[in-house]
Amino acid sequence: MKQNRMNKIPSLTLTAWLLALPGALPAAQPASDSIDVEGVMRVAARKLAAFDVSQPKKTAYPTDAKGAQWRTVGAADWVSGFYPGSLWYLYEYARDQKWPEAQAWRTRAETWTAGLESQQFNSSHHDTGFVMFDSYGNGYRLTGNPAYLPILNRTAQSLASRYRADTGMIRSWGKIDDTNKFTVIIDNMMNLELLVWAAAHGGTTRGGTSADLRKVATSHADRALELFFRPDGGTYHVVELNPRTGAVLRKRTQQGKADESTWSRGQTWAIYGFAYMYKATGERRYLEASLKAADRYLARLPADFVPPADFDSDLKGLEFKDSSAAAIAASAFLRLHRLVEAPALKKKYLDAATATLRALTAAPYFSKGDDKASLLVYAARNYHADPNHALTNTSLIWGDYYLLEALLQYRAITTPPAKIK
């Protein structure tokens, strides 16, 4: 398949271009200002444990909440891995901080992760990366449980089966054998991590090799770089392709305001996903893409560091915000802080992450009380003009997951290593 030239930032001018962006970073507090990670983790522990107690069968996974009770979904839903993943993050923190209840957190995480085992064979959607890498992936990282490895590799194989060479991409939505329509969404960048990781741990495509698995991930990322970015660094949500030729049929939105608007969470998926691909491959074009998306996000960010559900929204008020997008961005910025080399850029992204986390761990976005099931409030699954609609002015389980992930990164970066006695 013939591909068009990618829209790239000249690498020789990248640092100067980023630092010179007008309004690229709203005024942030110094990164050295502390965030109460322990306090947030204690609140998270209380709320995550409460949900665990409320579900004796451990088969219904939280998705969203307007109040004190999570709405739940089954294992096959795209969000099912975020609650087990959150439990793994609590275990990681509890273990490192030597909480006496650390082992209990591991047991909870293992129990809820086990409920997803069947999803290794699920090839009906692209989100098995979210489902299985957040759960089994974190579990393997933290425990080295050998039983988790073949499950992860089998999941990667199932995900890669949605790849079509004629398009160079993984089909996000729709039946795997649909010959009339091929839909890809920017969210799919987040599922490439599973493929690259599995390729390095013995995973293969069906009938292929580990190299083939890695090639699927890089092919998808390269076409996403080509197709999803606008010249200003904003991103499209959905691209429809001809499944036989890979030609673009339409670029649109499903969860944003309009086809040419910028859905804020989609922008954060791009920042995060391309940052990972650079970390995994060392290919500078992926870093350039991540930085381009990051700086467009920052240039449009309001003063409180939490974006509206869509950057082109003219709706005012907290009920039209998306705190989950801010949590994803915070984690992505901390990853960028580690990846870039220029001291000014490292500071820039650490400051952005710190300011975002400061906003997300205080009122009005952080909920300490039991009247809310979640840590984060004022999130939006989709852009919607009605604040009473289920899609907006809500809490989302992935917002809590990425908040915990970001806080663990923040603590690792800002806490000096213990002195050896």
199 neighbors 214 (Cβ within 8 angstroms): yes
Strand intervals (E) in 113-185: 163-164, 169-170, 182-185
Pairwise CA distance, residues 262 & 56, whole Å: 41
To 10 degrees, the CA torsion angle through 409, 413, 416, 420? 70
Q: Which residues are catalytic?
A: 127, 187
63 neighbors 396 (Cβ within 8 angstroms): yes
Q: Token match 């809590």: residue?
A: 400
First vs last Cα of the chain: how many Å apart?
A: 60
331-364: burial string, b at 16+ Cβ within 10 Å, e else: bbbbbbbebbeeeebbebbbbbbbbbbbbbbeee
Cα-based distances in Å from 350 to 277, 307, 308, 343, 370: 20, 18, 22, 11, 31
Q: Which amino acid, one-letter code, is at 275?
A: A
Q: Specify which residues 65 forms β-bridges with.
A: 395
Q: Token match 């502390």: residue?
A: 34
Coil, strand, or helix at residue 101?
coil
